[in-house]
Amino acid sequence: MNLAVFASGNGSNFSAIVKAIKQGKIKARSVILVCDNPGAFVLKRAQKSKVKVILASRQDFSSRKDFEAAIIQRLKYYKIDLIALAGFMRMLSPDFVKKYPNRILNIHPSLLPAFKGSHAIKDAFENKVPFTGVTVHFVDEKMDHGRVILQEKVGIKVKDNLTSLEKRIHSKEHKLYPQAIKLFFSGKIKIGKS
Ligand code: GRF
């Protein structure tokens, strides 16, 4: 199976996935990075680990449709079987999602459906909930929505501050995402209605 990781920023999940592939924990034939941000740190990570990069900036295209068409063309060229969104800061259009039914995953730093959106860790922290967590799910046309594949709790300790909580959530993500991709590649996830 061929994997494409989509990321826009730091890329720590990208690195965790690449590490799991290199260690043989995920049996991917190939992996590529799709990035929409020329200034993203994840590009440096890809260069260091010799992963092929498709860089596509939205502003270089006159429409979202053209932008996505260019990406899809490259995905077809590399015969991509699975897309893993890992901090990709753009919603994919319903047309894009339909082209890869049950073949796009996302990781989100909360126990979905709680705390959707891009400030999930901060929102959980400020709401003083006793625990939050990490979710890996299939992507559908709605944001942070779609059938859950794996989900794990992360407790919020009284002595936590936002930074310490973020740190624990990210280290949970780095284990959970490779596990979910491994499950997908081993055919252990039943594809039904999401
Ligand atoms: C992660 O917290 C992920 O759950 C969210 O975006 C963040 C990306 O972090 N979707 P990184 O770029 O992988 O370090």
**How many CB atoms sit inside 10 A of residue 6's CB?**
25
> Quick check: is 194 in a domain?
no
The runs of H, that is alpha helices, within the chain are 12-22, 42-48, 64-77, 94-99, 120-126, 162-185
pLDDT at 192: 60
Q: How far is the CA of 194 from the centre of ligand 1 (A)?
A: 23
Domain CATH for 109? 3.40.50.170
pLDDT string in tens for the chain (194-residue length): 999 999 999 999 999 999 999 999 999 999 999 999 999 999 999 999 999 999 999 999 999 999 999 999 999 999 999 999 999 999 999 999 999 999 999 999 999 999 999 999 999 999 999 999 999 999 999 999 999 999 999 999 999 999 999 999 999 999 999 999 999 999 988 776 44
Q: Which residues line ligand 1 (CB under 6 A)?
A: 7, 9-14, 86-87, 107-109, 173
Q: How far is the CA of 11 from the centre of ligand 1 (A)?
A: 7
> Quick check: is 191 in a domain?
no
| CA–CA gap between residue 194 and residue 180 (Å, rounded) | 16
Protein residue with least CA distance to atom 7, ligand 1: 87
> Quick check: is 70 in a domain?
yes
Q: How far is the CA of 49 from the centre of ligand 1 (A)?
A: 19
pLDDT at 189: 85
Atom of ligand 1 nearest to the CA of 7: 12
pLDDT at 190: 75
Atom of ligand 1 nearest to the CA of 13: 13
**What values do phi and psi take at 172, rounded to 5?**
-65, -40
Distances (CA, A) of 105 to 19, 149, 171, 177: 18, 9, 18, 9
pTM of the model as a whole: 0.96
Protein residue with least CA distance to atom 6, ligand 1: 87
89-116 in b/e form (b: 16+ CB < 10 A) is eeebeeebbebbebbbbbbbbbbbeebe
Q: Is 108 a known active-site residue?
A: yes
Residue 10's domain comprises 2-185
Please give the DSSP secondary-structure letter assigned to residue 22.
H
From 108, 119, 137, 174, the catalytic residue: 108
Closest CA to 180 of 141, 137, 145: 137
pLDDT at 194: 45
| Domain count of the fold of the chain | 1
pLDDT at 188: 85
